[in-house]
Amino acid sequence: MIKCLVEDVRARLRSGVTINSLGQCVEELVLNSIDAKATCVAIRVDLEAFKIQVVDNGSGMGREDLNAMGKRYFTSKCNSVGDLENLMFYGFRGEAVASIANMASVVEVSSKTSRTAKTFVKLFHNGQALEVCEAELSRPSGGTTVTVCNLFHQLPVRRKCMGPLLEFERVRQKVEAISLMHPSLSLSLRNDASCSMVLQLPKTRDVYSRFCQIYGLGRSQKLREINHKSGGFELSGYISIEGHYNKNMQFLYVNRRLVLKTRLHKLIDFLLRKESVICRAKSGPASRQPTSSPGRHRCGPELYGIFILNVTCAYSDYDVCLEPAKTLIEFQNWDVLLTCIEEGVKIFLKREHLFIEPCSEDIREFNEDNDFCLYNAPVLKPSLSDEKSIQDSFKKACDEIVDSYEMCNLQSKDVKR
């Protein structure tokens, strides 16, 4: 007999998808702080205890808002379907805090607004909200503190899969990615398990300065600015004139929201690796030799591009509601956007004297491996071997037709009429 799942089972299943990692939990809380107009956010993580604390100086919440906070689908950021086409905030589902509360044994939220002297506290125990009460110790200023204890205590397999070093590295990368689009935000990240300050990023004037804070002056000096507008889209940010041994310094945003693993990533990666000298190993030849196959015979390890790029467009042009983390994205018109990106990056490469013509094999391989093509790629002429193969196939097909026709005639003659 088909039955409806009971509420606590529904909540646990839904929450396990919404908050799938420790990094995702940190990201949701930090983005809530940014939505609350915080200028300073402090993060503390203890992976041994699966404990997280995020402290901000945002607008804070009074008793009434705290009462509603943590109830699923309760939010101050979206009031109608029309608001979904003008998403000015990172959070709008009303699911993050409710899901975190369901995944942790205890969650404490203390908050104070600038208009009141009192600080109020709300506790969640195994997903169940307790009554809001006045805090014994008042915050000195407005803002919110969220403390998450014993995260994923009901999911021992998931916990076992989270190695402390790798998981904390993912948290750090999440925080760095957020900080790049918010240089005026002061951020700190502390590892409570090792009692060490991992990140301390004071507010700065722009993305370039923030990148310098994180990755150092040497790498930031290799950045070059890019800006291109086309078809209602604007591409802006920085691309480095040097490559890196992995993709950890590739940041792509849409309206300052980080997106992952899109067609845009594939296109930009191809342009920087195959149509520029950026990702060619330093030990390789300075220029291509006529007899060499470009991109096929490189000296040294494979390199990848470094970029911090933001696509600005109308909110109605795309949809980020494909999965809870909102890092997957679909556009209403991919072709126009991909054309804008390809044009912008190629103009940048030519301006910086980094552009090289891609070889036909690379273009063919890219077009075959992806569900989109380079919009202005040259028409690829078949090679002599390809032409011979086509001719052989055509001749074979013709012979088969002739053979089948003759067989049909022989069979027809055997039939007595």
- Report pLDDT for 261: 85
**pLDDT digits 0-9 by tens, 383-402:** 455 455 556 665 666 666 55
Residue 305 and residue 250 in contact, taking contact as beta carbons nearer than 8 Å: yes
Residue 269 and residue 358: Cα distance in Å, rounded?
Answer: 13
**pLDDT digits 0-9 by tens, 264-278:** 999 999 999 999 999
Beta partners for residue 32, in sequence order: none
**pLDDT digits 0-9 by tens, 346-363:** 999 999 999 999 888 888
Residue 317 and residue 326: Cα distance in Å, rounded?
Answer: 15
**pLDDT digits 0-9 by tens, 278-306:** 988 665 444 444 434 444 444 557 899 99
Residue 134, H or E segment? strand 133-134
Residue type, 143: G
What is the rounded average pLDDT for all residues in the chain? 83
- Report pLDDT for 415: 38
Q: What DSSP string describes 15-42?
A: HHHHS-SHHHHHHHHHHHHHHTT-SEEE
Quick check: helix, strand or coil at residue 225? strand
Residue 226 and residue 306 in contact, taking contact as beta carbons nearer than 8 Å: no
Closest CA to 375 of 366, 384, 383: 366
Give pTM, 2 decimals.
0.78
- Report pLDDT for 68: 84
- Report pLDDT for 398: 60
**pLDDT digits 0-9 by tens, 129-176:** 899 999 988 888 999 999 999 999 988 898 888 888 999 999 999 999
**pLDDT digits 0-9 by tens, 60-90:** 999 998 988 887 766 665 555 565 566 666 7
Pairing type for strands 186-191 and 40-46 reads: parallel
- Report pLDDT for 318: 87
Residue 83 and residue 5: Cα distance in Å, rounded?
Answer: 31
Which of 4 and 242 is assigned the larger pLDDT? 242
Quick check: helix, strand or coil at residue 200? strand
- Report pLDDT for 316: 85
Which of 203 and 12 is assigned the larger pLDDT? 203
